[in-house]
Chains A and B, each alone.
Chain A
Amino acid sequence: MALMPLISNFEGDFVLQLIPVDSESTMDEVAQAAAHHSVGRRVKARPGHVIRVRRPGSNEPFPRTMRVSEAGIKPMESLECIWESRAPLAAVASPAQRAGSGEE
């Protein structure tokens, strides 16, 4: 486990921001850390959506439970945080998962 700086590029926001995460954080935890500095500050919350994390330009977000270390993400790499409708995942996500998932 190691503290690791990443860059959040949050959908709807205007600026890249520095976010500290742990190398063992899941993508949902990364999304939560990024949301803290954007949602409710300059980006309206979107009920019924979850925030997914992806590499810039990729159409495929990382799996929500994947850890930063597993994804091969380097310190200070920029990641896009994208709103995704919760519907397809809501049925399978447990309350515990949702609590730490960055859902708004």
Chain B
Amino acid sequence: MAVLNRTDWYDIARKTNWTPKYVKEDELFPPQLSGNFGIPVEQWESYDEPYKQTYPDYVKVQREKDAGAYSVKAALERSRMFENADPGWLSVMKAHYGAIARGEYAASSAEARMMRFSKAPGMRNMATFGALDEIRHTQLQLYFPHEYCSKDRQFDWAHKAYDSNEWAMIASRHFFDDIMMTRDAISVGIMLTFAFESGFTNMQFLGLAADAAEAGDFTFASLISSIQTDESRHAQIGGPALKIMIENGRKAEAQKLVDVAFWRAWRLFSVLTGPIMDYYTPLEHRKQSFKEFMHEWIVSQFERSLTDLGLDKPWYWDTFMHDLNETHHGMHLGVWYWRPTVWWNPRAGVSPEERAWLEEKYPGWNDTWGQCWDVIIDNLVEGRTELTLPETLPIVCNMCNLPVNNTPGKGWAVKDYPLEYNGRLYHFGSEPDRWCFQQDPERYAGHMTLVDRFLAGQIEPANLGGALAYMGLAPGEIGEDAHGYAWAEAYKHAALKKAG
């Protein structure tokens, strides 16, 4: 039987909007879920998706992708990667799986909201595949780490993290709940796919794939490359929706959604991807610094996307460009210092050679971040390990839920950005974080950070043990220095040599 070419029938087949007779339009597409922004349904029907794919095409390609990823895993199961990898690399995997796997599952629900409630038929079609993509990503990223659970129970956090009150997961959930779980279909398209996926998942998945291949972890490299091919497709859901918003006089609303989501994504990736690229990946396997990667994959590409659509750069762009030099160093130092509170073993990444690399990539590092590490190193050299562990909580931002930090040492620039709202004092880590809150205070005002919960008596006993129990970190899961401080030996030798 002759089969029509896809281009001959696609447009007719996917235009599935009809005129409802028995219900009103707002009942078929409730505004809170659909996000019509006052734009008539006929305008949404002009949505022109850049990827035109049919279900048979999709299934065929996805089957091949899955076969590829699972085959590589099966072929390399005896490669002893786990036993031979640098402990820092294992931490990369643990952090990635815990932060991402269940978030992907949540994203399938967000895609499903676009699939059902968007008034744009093409968007619904793309989101159908997007929802299936996210389920595939969840399955892959839960299945792959599962084989390591019997060897190292921190890998169990691939599944466990999302349900816990661990501080980084509170931050992650707060972000994803904001941009994808509690927004209408159009806002999800803009905030999740355009602002977050088109930029930041590229970095996490492509950047990390390059580092994984360099580190000899071909299973992980193949897995996340496979996922990224889906991301690069469904990340394009938001672009045509933005075009319709701008053409229909809704640029200001669209710009605000982009600006909130981009800033929030940046803060989260500064703690997830920044330390991985500049501190956890062994020096000899690093392809680019985090800053270089951000410039190549986020700054230039995102700027181009904004210009192409007729949007402006976010108002905080200068702050963002400046913070590319700083924020992730603070997030890393915080994670390492408060290491018992994470489900992976942070790699310090500050051996003499690594410090030379950091100084080269981030001129001035030794006079700023290096000043804090100097004190930590002196304590390890002198055997005062207890001083390299925390006795109090860092203040976390009421928007990003990450520690409020900034440049230390000779460039000291740490600042609180407070705001009193309805009699409660909030603290933010930056002006854009405070601005995000101010755009819709009632949306965020009720949330309690880990510190708020501590002060409200929800964490008992009120000490590190109580905090670890609250966060769900059991013995064997609590983070330690990835190398058991072996990296500090070089400094001990230098100190002994100096002493004579």
Chain A positions near chain B (C-beta within 8 angstroms): 5, 7, 9, 11-19, 36-37, 40-44, 56, 74, 76-78
Chain B nearest CB from A68 CB (Å) reads: 16
Q: Is the CB of A15 within 8 A of B334?
A: yes
Give chain B interface residues in 277-329, CB to chain A under 8 Å. none
Asked if B201 is an interface residue, CB under 8 A from chain A, the answer is no
Q: Is the CB of A78 within 8 A of B333?
A: no
Given contacts A5-B455, A37-B392, A42-B337, contact A16 B375 (CB under 8 A): no
Chain B nearest CB from A71 CB (Å) reads: 16
Q: Is the CB of B369 within 8 A of A41?
A: no
Chain B nearest CB from A20 CB (Å) reads: 8
Query: Considering the chains assembled together, what is the distance between the CA atoms of A47 and B429 in angstroms?
Result: 31
Asked if B28 is an interface residue, CB under 8 A from chain A, the answer is no
Asked if B439 is an interface residue, CB under 8 A from chain A, the answer is no
Interface residues on B, range: 35 or more
Q: Is the CB of B415 within 8 A of A9?
A: yes
Chain B nearest CB from A52 CB (Å) reads: 15
Q: Is the CB of A16 within 8 A of B408?
A: no
Asked if B394 is an interface residue, CB under 8 A from chain A, the answer is yes
Q: Is the CB of B392 within 8 A of A19?
A: yes
Q: Which residue of chain A is the closest to B394 with respect to CB atoms?
A: A15
Query: Considering the chains assembled together, what is the distance between the CA atoms of A37 and B369 in angstroms?
Result: 17
Query: Considering the chains assembled together, what is the distance between the CA atoms of A76 and B451 in angstroms?
Result: 10
Q: Is the CB of A77 within 8 A of B425?
A: yes
Q: Which residue of chain A is the closest to B390 with respect to CB atoms?
A: A37
Given contacts A7-B395, A56-B416, contact A16 B427 (CB under 8 A): yes
A-binding segment of B65-73, B87-95, B115-123, B399-407: B399-407
Q: Is the CB of B418 within 8 A of A12?
A: no
Q: Is the CB of B394 within 8 A of A44?
A: no
Chain B positions near chain A (C-beta within 8 angstroms): 330, 333-334, 337, 369, 371-372, 374-376, 379, 387-388, 390-395, 403-409, 412, 414-416, 418, 425, 427, 451, 454-455
B371, B390, B392, B455 — which one has the most chain A CB atoms within 10 A of its CB?
B392
Query: Considering the chains assembled together, what is the distance between the CA atoms of A5 and B375 in angstroms?
Result: 26
Chain A residues positioned under 8 Å from B394 (CB to CB): 15-18
Q: Is the CB of A41 within 8 A of B408?
A: no
Chain A residues positioned under 8 Å from B375 (CB to CB): 40-44
Query: Considering the chains assembled together, what is the distance between the CA atoms of A61 and B306 in angstroms?
Result: 46
If A7-B416, A14-B330 are given as contacts, then 6 extra A-B residue pairs at C-beta distance below 8 Å, sorted by A number, are A15-B334, A16-B416, A18-B392, A37-B391, A43-B408, A44-B374
Chain B nearest CB from A35 CB (Å) reads: 12
Q: Is the CB of B371 within 8 A of A44?
A: yes
Chain B residues positioned under 8 Å from A13 (CB to CB): 372, 408, 412, 414
Chain B residues positioned under 8 Å from A76 (CB to CB): 425, 427, 455
Q: Which residue of chain A is the closest to B454 with respect to CB atoms?
A: A18
Q: Which residue of chain B is the closest to A5 with respect to CB atoms?
A: B455
Chain A residues positioned under 8 Å from B409 (CB to CB): 12
Query: Considering the chains assembled together, what is the distance between the CA atoms of A9 and B372 in angstroms?
Result: 14
Q: Is the CB of B392 within 8 A of A12?
A: no
Given contacts A41-B387, A44-B374, contact A14 B414 (CB under 8 A): yes
Given contacts A40-B375, A78-B427, contact A14 B406 (CB under 8 A): yes
Query: Considering the chains assembled together, what is the distance between the CA atoms of A78 and B414 in angstroms?
Result: 11
